[in-house]
Amino acid sequence: MKKLGIYIHIPFCKSKCTYCNFYSQSSDCLSAKDIIIQTSIIEAINREIELFVKSEEYLKNKQKYYISTIYFGGGTPSYIDADMIISIIKTIQREFAISDKDMEKIEVTIEANPDSITKEKLDKYYENGINRLSVGLQAYNDRLLGLMGRPYNCKIFDKCVEIINQSRFKNWSLDLIFGLPNQSMKDWTNTLGKAISFSPKHISCYSLEVHRNTILGRNIKTGKMPNPDEILDRKMYHRAVKILADNHYFQYEISNFAKKGYKCRHNLDFWNRNSYIGFGPSACSTFEGESWCNISENTKYIDKVNGSKVFDSILISDVSSDLSKSHSDCSKRKLYQKIMLGIRLNKGVIIYSKEYSILIKNISKLRSNGLLMKDKNIKKLILTQKGRDLADYVIEQLLENV
């Protein structure tokens, strides 16, 4: 049987981070209006799950799949009432016919901000099948947290770690960001040291991406904030790779490091191009040769789901079965997706003989430039350290003139 991952997008935050480009709705207080819209979204997500499980496409293929991971992202899933999250878990378990015993084998992750973690929430999460936390620290520096619009400070984060350590959660991850405007190497090294001292099982280190439609993007464009230093960004990345390796966090993907046995299974399935279904506003899916994304607007999403009698998400791109595109064009799209995702992994990506023959000139050029490893297995593409620094360029060059 094939793995099938489930992604749930919870589109609510206490406040919008200055760098965030994901769809979410923010509010500083849980007013009656907030509760109504949150409840409506959760009900719509539960209904979307029910519609998908009853869909013709799933019913004719369901025997091929088993649920391998469930991931609650956003937004800030931990911001809303824990019972809302639990209702979705119960719907998934009921509709996909997952037994309690099988549920124990599934990696179930919830993203959380430090200011929204409480002992009561963690107890409810754990008792209802959630077994992994992904906590967004980003930086252990109050000045930088303020620059990013994060709704907490280092003191609140320390309390968050204390609550986690007193809970039954053993598998938890920290997210960090480097390459921020006005972030020094000293700032970054201190954040890495503090992160390691908290002893999470997994650490993700992301280079800042500046998007034009974010607060940070607009501030950089208007000169209110300086552009990130690209050379310093790469030095920070190399520092992270070394320090984390020295502390037994093994790199398995460009931005991800884990203690032995604690790689994120959900993300690995995504990079390995296994099927996944996304529920909630803006959630994306790939299933049986089709890829689609839901509407990125809460009210429209609710209206669409409530008005549907059959599963009917909006297709924005059909990776492999779009009849309006030629067979060769679809093959190219599939190859692009395969390389774009798989090459991020330290183990690299295996390509077939036909694909290799198409890419051989580009591969040879990149290997001679020290961006791809020269491997005895010529059909395996693995980035060098220099290649990881230029991953987007490598992907672009691999597929040039294809």
**pLDDT for 321:** 37
Report how far residue 357's alpha carbon sits from residue 348's, in angstroms, rounded to the nearest whole number. 18
CA 317, 320, 322, 325 torsion-angle sign:
positive
**pLDDT for 318:** 36
Q: Distances in Å between the alpha carbon of 112 and those of 31, 255, 262?
A: 21, 19, 18
**pLDDT for 172:** 98
**pLDDT for 284:** 92
Q: Distances in Å between the alpha carbon of 115 and those of 177, 358, 373?
A: 18, 51, 43
* Each residue's pLDDT expressed in tens, for the chain with a length of 402 residues: 999 999 999 999 988 899 998 888 887 666 788 888 999 999 999 999 999 999 999 999 999 999 999 999 999 999 999 999 999 999 999 999 999 999 999 999 999 999 999 999 999 999 999 999 999 999 999 999 999 999 999 999 999 999 999 999 999 999 999 999 999 999 999 999 999 999 999 999 999 999 988 999 999 989 999 999 999 999 999 999 999 999 999 999 999 999 999 999 999 999 999 999 999 999 999 998 888 899 999 999 999 999 888 887 654 433 333 333 433 456 677 788 889 999 999 999 988 888 888 888 999 999 999 999 987 666 789 999 999 999 999 999 998 877
**pLDDT for 325:** 40
Cross-strand bridge partners of residue 107: 69
**pLDDT for 313:** 62
Q: Please choose, from the candidates 122, 109, 26, 19, the residue with its C-alpha nearest in 3D space to the C-alpha of residue 73.
A: 109
Q: Which part of the chain is CATH 3.20.20.70? A: 2-271
Q: Pairing between strand 284-287 and 290-293?
A: antiparallel
**pLDDT for 327:** 38
Q: Which part of the chain is CATH 1.10.10.920? A: 325-402
Report how far residue 206's alpha carbon sits from residue 22's, in angstroms, rounded to the nearest whole number. 15
- Do 117 and 167 form a contact (C-beta atoms < 8 A)? no
Q: Distances in Å between the alpha carbon of 168 and those of 113, 224, 242, 247, 254?
A: 18, 44, 31, 24, 30
Evaluate the omega torsion of the peptide bond into residue 278 and state whether it is cis, within 30 degrees of 0: no
Report how far residue 150's alpha carbon sits from residue 324's, in angstroms, rounded to the nearest whole number. 44
CATH topology (fold) of 325-402 = Arc Repressor Mutant, subunit A (1.10.10)
Q: Is 99 exposed, middle or buried (0-12, 13-18, 19+ CB in 10 A)?
A: exposed
Three-class SS of residue 95?
helix
Q: What is the CATH number of domain 2-271?
A: 3.20.20.70
- Do 209 and 19 form a contact (C-beta atoms < 8 A)? yes
- Do 314 and 342 form a contact (C-beta atoms < 8 A)? no
Helices (H), 61-200: 82-95, 100-103, 119-127, 142-148, 154-165, 185-197
User: Residue 334 contacts by C-beta under 8 Å, 6 or more apart in sequence?
Assistant: 319, 320
**pLDDT for 29:** 60
Paired tokens of 126: 């754990």
- Residue carrying the six token digits 């309390």: 159
